[in-house]
A and B are shown apart, each in its own frame.
Chain A
Amino acid sequence: MAVRDTPIHRLHPLIKLLASLGFILIVVSFGRYSLIPMIPMVFCPTVVMALSETPYGLLLKRCALALPFCLLAGISNLVLDTGTALTLGSLSISTGLFSFLTLLFKAYLSVITVLLLVATTPIHVISEAMQRLKIPSLMITLFEMTYRYLGTLLEEASAMALAYGLRSRQQKGIELRHMGSFVGQLLLRSFDRAERIYQAMKLRGYPAAHLSPTERKVSSRDILYLVLVLGSSLIFRALDITGAVNIIERLLP
């Protein structure tokens, strides 16, 4: 998914990072009840999602997995914040509902922003961007290699867990009294593996002076993207949509 070629994928990775971070900062700077003024903020992620051809279902699924913590932290607002915000006929909506929904909306926007950033930026582009940020090569190698071995060790751990499960009484998990040797085994295997990887690296000349990354200039297209994302968000942040709403209100009978 991260190796497609769309206008969003082609953007300078640093610009994308900057835009994402700025966008999240603006999102979280909205007041705790600013649900409605915040709604225009959905434009940016939605447009980026469409332009980058990122499947919406997939994003939502990933997003749903990240939301529960905010959901549960926000429940207190629902329960504790019982003022009346709005009465529609006989129905009254509490301020707690507003702050709760605001929190959830913020969570949705910030999570989807990070997901979009990663979905449109392959790992090697991320590490190139890190090099350009002058992040020490130790960190970058560490980042790349940790990412590389995640899958390998997860496979190893799940093969071990499967072998354990097939021979244990219950299928649910590792019994507490076996955790020491189970995780200890995995750890020793990992350390042995690290030793072999070190040898493999050493045999191919590691460590050597680090290379500077291939230069990549910030294009006018990148600047335009940054200005559009941050500019529109700042305008939404500064302008209250209720101003526009008043006009609608006048049109209503």
Chain B
Amino acid sequence: MHMADALLSPAVGLTMGAVSAGAMALSVSRINKDDLSDKKVPLMAVSGAFVFAAQMINFTIPATGSSGHIGGGMLLAALLGGYPSFLTLSVVLIIQALFFADGGLLALGCNIFNMGLIPCLLVYPLVFRPLLKRGVSYKSLTLASILSVVSGLQLGSLGVVLETAASGVTELPLNAFLLVMQPIHLAIGLVEGIITAAILGFVHRMRPDLVEAAQSVPSTPKVTFKKVLALLAVLTVLTGGILSLYASKNPDGLEWSIEKVAGTSELSAENPLHESAAFIQDRTALMPDYDYTSENSSTIPGTSLAGLIGGGLTFLLAGVTGLVLSRIKKKKPQFTRLRENQY
């Protein structure tokens, strides 16, 4: 569900970046007010690393032969509370963007919003906590987990759809995009919800204090429907405005396919086991039969034989420049190599 830089327009990327940065600043100030904030830092950090590791654990669904992995956002929220889990997931997403090229620098705002803010600061206080208000039991834990994971993923994938559509980089018609994304994420959500319930159930059996303490701590936003409505209104206006610019480019009524294969390069290189742990998320759908009338081809710049030749030459020139520079660097190696040895 990671958004990529290339799918975004600058306006959408920067807007979402600002929203997510604001939410992170708010969370930091809330956690710093907490007396136990110094104890929370290692807990949050190790939990972040845990989520990373948990995402690498591949499970199989019996009789279907399919496999998947969990996202872990709601699990963290249930154990750490709203603000700490949001910050933890944000840091995980930042690390994924920087070191694993998953997502991207500009897309960070979108990803933190879709996968962090929505589950931790909206769904957790609005769905998860109220369901556990009358006490933590196997039943309430299961119900709360499934409902919140499903709604978190529905909203998150809605976010992906809206952000992509508002950016207008792809040809995907909005409602077709929705028709594909939402049912797929319903299925993913149900499975992850069941697993989240099982994990929380296990933790509750072993360490009831952990699960119960999290539900009574104050480090959770007091979200009222008013605030949510206000946030939604702001986002609607923001995205609506941008969306309308591109609306005409997005005709309706078809289905398309999308599939994400997210890689974990560093891990698979270091440990053969991660070959199998590297996750593959399948999202299948149907191909469309839609007659698309494209824009006038004259709007496409550089489309002529000469344009192609010019482009090709530029490419070549860039490649040669790179090669020459590398050669020059290699010719005087003593300098740099010596310094390297210091480390």
Contact = CB atoms under 8 A, between A and B. Distances in A.
Direct contact of A and B (CB under 8 A): yes
Given A39-B311, A72-B257, A162-B273, A242 B339 contact: no
A152 B101 CA distance: 21
Contacts of B259: 68, 72
Interface stretch (B48-56, B220-228, B232-240): B48-56
A241 B294 contact: no
Interface string B172-197: 10000000000000000001001101
Contacts of B310: 36, 241-242, 244-245, 248
A242 B59 CA distance: 52
B208 interface: no
Interface stretch (B112-120, B121-129, B151-159, B284-292): B284-292
Interface string A103-147: 110110011011101100000001000000000101101111111
A3 B343 contact: yes
A40 B314 contact: yes
A117 B43 CA distance: 29
Contact of A175 (B59, B101, B207): B59
B28 A139 contact: yes
Contacts of A75: 256-257
A194 B46 contact: yes
Contacts of A231: none
B47 interface: yes
Given A33-B300, A173-B276, A176-B59, A154 B28 contact: no
A142 B265 contact: no
A76 B256 contact: yes
Interface stretch (A177-185, A213-221, A222-230): A177-185
Interface in B269-317: 271, 273-274, 276-277, 287-288, 290, 292-297, 299-311, 314-315
Interface in B1-60: 2, 4-10, 13-14, 24-25, 28, 31-32, 37-39, 41-50, 52-54, 56-60
Contacts of A155: 271
Most buried by A among B67, B79, B322: B322
User: Most chain-B Cβ atoms within 10 A of its Cβ — which of A40, A142, A242?
Assistant: A142
Contacts, number: 405
Given A70-B4, A142-B41, A174-B60, A99 B195 contact: no
Contact of B340 (A4, A70, A98, A113): A4
B247 interface: no
Nearest to A43: B318
Interface in B323-339: 323-326, 329, 336, 339
| Range of interface residues on A (Cβ < 8 Å) | 35 or more
A194 B264 CA distance: 25
B57 A138 contact: no
A96 interface: yes
In the A-B complex, list the 8 residue pairs whose CB atoms are closest, starting with the nearest: A180-B198, A83-B294, A65-B263, A36-B302, A184-B202, A145-B45, A50-B325, A110-B5
Interface of B: 2, 4-10, 13-14, 24-25, 28, 31-32, 37-39, 41-50, 52-54, 56-62, 67, 70, 75, 79, 87-88, 91-92, 94-95, 97-99, 101-102, 104-106, 164, 168-172, 191, 194-195, 197-199, 201-203, 206-207, 210, 254, 256-265, 267, 271, 273-274, 276-277, 287-288, 290, 292-297, 299-311, 314-315, 318-319, 321-326, 329, 336, 339-340, 343
25 contacts: A25-B10, A25-B106, A33-B300, A70-B4, A72-B258, A72-B260, A79-B256, A95-B300, A104-B6, A106-B5, A114-B104, A117-B105, A139-B87, A145-B46, A146-B44, A152-B49, A157-B56, A173-B57, A176-B61, A191-B207, A194-B46, A240-B302, A242-B310, A245-B306, A248-B306
Given A61-B265, A139-B28, A155-B271, 5 more contacts: A40-B318, A42-B315, A46-B318, A179-B199, A252-B306
